[in-house]
A = this chain, B = another copy of it.
Amino acid sequence: MSAPAISVFALTGMGEVHPGDDLVALILATGVELAHGDILVVTSKIVSKAEGRYVQAADREEAITAETVRLVASRTYDGHTMRIVENRLGMVSAAAGVDASNTPDGWVLLLPEDPDRSARALAAGLRAATGAEVGVILSDTLGRPWREGQTDVAIGGGGVHMIADLRGTTDQAGKVLSVTTPCVADELAAAADLVKGKASGNPVAVVRGRADLVGPLTLPGASSIVRASERDLFWLGTAEALDQGYRDGYAAALAGLPAHEQQEHEKKDAT
């Protein structure tokens, strides 16, 4: 058996993307020869640009507020407040994906309106133009709790399995792998970032060698890997939760409630 292997390469020479541009045409104009099972990882920013997702904003903070459904946590450093928020897609991230880098002064760029729809449309267009069954992932760069630095993750998917479900398969010792559900979509986005780079201006990479992950355009998109906040153990920042609990406990004591009544109520909210 030959060793499992993938190759990952960036497409060069795409140039700047403008509102209304046809990304299928721009990608194919690079001369890339797409093969069955290729997975294209596309920086979501160029999809936003093609979709004209620019908004004029006096400052970026204003645009972040407009994109925010729920504030999860915030902290002020050096007079600047960093906000972790849940956006309209249910994604939790810093700044709601509002991007002020690589944009003209006074303008910010929002995430694609529906990243899964955009990814499916791009995959459909590339399949139609080339005859090759390819998949598309839209990537964004996110920080994360507990670990320094950022990694690229999948925020949109078309024609690619997001999770390789191994539950029920057995390991080498014959035990059932009960909890292993690798998020291959995020791993593909991370692998692609190793060749795209942030400063190189190559917004598209191809991952070749995992055709088994490519399938029909009806596969669930990246919205399926966003965990609903009511199921998450970290749905609210620690300082915010301590404050909210404190206020509730203080009020409960003043109202003469027994010590644990409100606490149980909060637990139910958090479940």
Contact = CB atoms under 8 A, between A and B. Distances in A.
Interface string A230-252: 00111111110111111111111
Q: Which of A195, A201, A238 has the most CB of B within 10 A?
A: A238
Interface in A123-170: 141, 144-153, 162-163, 166, 169-170
Interface stretch (A19-27, A60-68, A221-229): A221-229
Interface residues of A, number: 100
A217 interface: no
Closest 10 interchain pairs by CB? Answer: A245-B245, A249-B249, A149-B183, A241-B241, A253-B253, A191-B191, A246-B249, A190-B190, A249-B250, A5-B9
Copies, count? 2
A109 to B, nearest CB: 11
A193 interface: yes
Nearest to A153: B147
Given A249-B246, A263-B247, A227 B148 contact: yes
Nearest to A243: B263
Contact of A239 (B145, B210, B239, B267): B267
Contacts of A29: none
A209 to B, nearest CB: 8
Nearest to A197: B4
Interface string A185-212: 0111011011111111110000101100
B11 A147 contact: no
Interface of A: 1, 3-12, 16, 73, 75, 84, 91-92, 101-104, 141, 144-153, 162-163, 166, 169-173, 175, 177, 180-184, 186-188, 190-191, 193-202, 207, 209-210, 224-227, 229, 232-239, 241-254, 259, 262-263, 266-267, 269-271
30 contacts: A5-B9, A6-B7, A8-B191, A101-B177, A102-B172, A144-B145, A145-B145, A145-B234, A147-B153, A147-B226, A147-B227, A148-B181, A148-B227, A149-B162, A149-B186, A150-B183, A170-B199, A171-B199, A172-B199, A187-B190, A238-B238, A239-B241, A239-B270, A242-B245, A242-B270, A243-B263, A243-B267, A245-B246, A246-B246, A246-B248
